[in-house]
Amino acid sequence: MATYKAPLKDMRFVLEEVLDFGTLSALPGNGELTPDLVAAILEEGAKIAENVLFPINRSGDEEGCHYENGVVRTPAGFKEAYRQFVEGGWTNTTSDPRYGGQGLPATLGFMLSEMFSSANMSFSMYPGLSHGAYEAIRVHASDELKQAYLPKLGDGTWTGTMCLTEAHCGTDLGMLRTRAEPQADHSYSITGTKIFISAGEHDLAENIIHLVLARLPDAPEGVRGISLFLVPKFVPTTDGKPGERNGVRCGAIEHKMGIKASSTAVLNFDQAKGWLVGEANKGLNAMFVMMNAARVGVAILGLGLAETSYQSAVAYARDRVQGRSLTGPKEKDKPADPIIVHPDVRRMLMIQRSFTEGARSLVYWVGTLIDVAHRSEDAEKREVADDLLQLLTPVLKAYFTDMGFECANLAIQTYGGHGYIREHGVEQLARDARITQLYEGTNGIQALDLVGRKLPMKGGRPAQRLLGEISGFIAANKGDAAMAEFIEPLEKALGRVQESVLWLMQNAMKNPDEAGGAATDTLRLIALTAMAFMWARIAKAAQKGLAAGNDNEFYEAKLQTGRFFARRVLPQTTALMHAIKSGAEPMMALKAEAF
């Protein structure tokens, strides 16, 4: 059976030893933040993840959501789990204290999200979507809307959605058709059909707040004519209770490959009452606030599923006896050795482990960048953090979700035929993980965002900042012989990034298809290099730990896992650079009719 225990020790190691806890606690509003406080919060989060959310993950997949006459019922146990989740304050951890939130840093929010994603991805979608809606309202809405909606979205009494997609447009939102007619009372009447709306209808909360992209009557064509509206399922009364039923109805839920306990709704808006969020025709900007937060959130889903996959694969590989070690029997009293003795099983486990540990440090680092970007009083530091964040968001979204799916499949492969059987629970991880490569922009779209927007933006400043961070670390550690095995491959990978980006700059100007053709490979190349950077930082922290003489096995394992990454995973960067520099011609040559 799939297995999950929150990796609290590793989480704390990253926060306290790999990253700089002082940077975080020095930020305004974080005055009371200590490692012990963080640890206490994480321990409580682990309890709800392991004891409340994980036990209904498998049953939720088997049962799925039920749709009848516009009403969606979540699987057995979800309602009660959500009640406990809300009561524990887990929806409100990083929310704004001005609206009743706990104001914890984003970094800590990421750590909690990782656990909830590992335990039950379908469940974690419900509060996850609320978080995106919350952010869009907090940043863009009027004070009146903030006062009316943020407290209840924050404390989980209500949940939120993002209503972008229509049947004929997903990536290309410029084509959307949902209309908004201004009303005499300054509200709008919204009409249209949205699809793929996660948490669009369910029975967990008393109200659902939809953030809807629509067109005003006089709006320009394309993406410059899109506005964002807040459309509640029930229009709140003046005392904040769900009032009149609004004109938004769930027409169906989708039957999906996975995340079956997550309701994915078709929503029909029929003269629904809504309010403008932000400026008219600037809806896409407001939406991107949600979207960018959501993209890192999806990356964390990838990490979370990879962790559960890894833990499940390890448990099975230790337990299942089959065949003998190639170097002679290891457990002579048993009829066979546990399969963890086999190098090819090790290979699968180490790919997963070297991903989860490296990725954890990378995304928590990104968490600290968000906290600095939002809270630092130093404008220069905010700018640096925001630059890095902009660049890394698509990289993490695509790479983490590709790897989440890969790790889930490695878990299936470790289980052998048993992995294909539903009751063992690992095939669910793969089916659940598969969506993360698609939503909030497919991973191909992330790659285009990287090469088309993020690399060239601000004259290449964000990319220069990342390369600068990495070369700074290399320079600082070049004299350290113990670090050479991590620094040398990192330096080579960095060289490949530089060479590839240079090639891209020289060629994509002449032919934009060169950017498109190189996009996915460039994203992976940068992701692997960023991972090698984090592994070098982990190794540095591990060596410090070893020098202090405590817990040597833990730190040795870090070095061994980092070595696996450097020697067995990072060489992919050579092939990626070759592929990038071979250009787009081989993929564009064939005429569309010839396919």
Rounded to a whole number of angstroms, the minimum distance from the CB of residue 377 to its own copies is: 41
Are the C-beta atoms of 126 and 162 separated by less than 8 Å? no
CB nearer to its own copies: pick between 10 and 371: 10
Q: What is the 3-state secondary structure (H, E, C) of 105-157?
A: CHHHHHHHHHHHHHHCHHHHHHHHHHHHHHHHHHHHCCHHHHHHHHHHHHCCC
CB nearer to its own copies: pick between 79 and 320: 320
CB nearer to its own copies: pick between 145 and 438: 438
**258: its two tokens:** 């996975």
Kind and range of the H or E element at 202? none
CB nearer to its own copies: pick between 148 and 430: 430
CB nearer to its own copies: pick between 66 and 318: 318
Rounded to a whole number of angstroms, the minimum distance from the CB of residue 535 to its own copies is: 12
CB nearer to its own copies: pick between 248 and 426: 426
Q: From CA 266, how far away is CA 206, in angstroms rounded?
A: 19
Rounded to a whole number of angstroms, the minimum distance from the CB of residue 272 to its own copies is: 23
For 4-34, b/e burial (b = at least 16 CB within 10 A) is bebbeebbbbbbebbbebebbbebeebeebe
User: Is 114 annotated as catalytic?
Assistant: no
Are the C-beta atoms of 220 and 276 separated by less than 8 Å? no
Q: How far is the CA of 88 from the CAs of 136, 274, 295, 509, in angstroms?
A: 24, 31, 26, 53
Rounded to a whole number of angstroms, the minimum distance from the CB of residue 561 to its own copies is: 7
For 101-113, b/e burial (b = at least 16 CB within 10 A) is bbebbbbbbbbbb
Rounded to a whole number of angstroms, the minimum distance from the CB of residue 66 to its own copies is: 16
CB nearer to its own copies: pick between 107 and 124: 124
One of 50, 440, 556, 593 is an active-site residue; which one?
440
Q: From CA 429, how far away is CA 404, in angstroms rounded?
A: 9
Task: Output the CA torsion sign for 417, 423, 425, 430.
Answer: positive
Rounded to a whole number of angstroms, the minimum distance from the CB of residue 546 to its own copies is: 15
Are the C-beta atoms of 179 and 226 separated by less than 8 Å? no
Are the C-beta atoms of 440 and 170 separated by less than 8 Å? no
Q: What is the 3-state secondary structure (H, E, C) of 504-573?
A: HHHHHCCCHHHHHHHHHHHHHHHHHHHHHHHHHHHHHHHHHHHHHCCCHHHHHHHHHHHHHHHHHHCCHH
CB nearer to its own copies: pick between 87 and 423: 423
CB nearer to its own copies: pick between 82 and 405: 405
Rounded to a whole number of angstroms, the minimum distance from the CB of residue 148 to its own copies is: 31
Q: How far is the CA of 465 from the CAs of 14, 235, 458, 472, in angstroms?
A: 22, 46, 11, 10
Q: From CA 514, how far away is CA 585, in angstroms rounded?
A: 8
Rounded to a whole number of angstroms, the minimum distance from the CB of residue 528 to its own copies is: 11
Q: Which residues pair with 71 in a beta bridge?
A: 68
Q: What is the 3-state secondary structure (H, E, C) of 41-70?
A: HHHHHHHHHHHHHHHHHHHHHHHCCEEECC
Rounded to a whole number of angstroms, the minimum distance from the CB of residue 9 to its own copies is: 12
Q: How far is the CA of 197 from the CAs of 214, 268, 289, 476, 543, in angstroms?
A: 15, 11, 17, 48, 47
Q: From CA 39, how far away is CA 37, in angstroms rounded?
A: 5
- Residue 328 DSSP one-character state: S
CB nearer to its own copies: pick between 180 and 410: 410
Are the C-beta atoms of 411 and 280 separated by less than 8 Å? no
Rounded to a whole number of angstroms, the minimum distance from the CB of residue 326 to its own copies is: 4
Q: What residues act catalytically?
A: 440
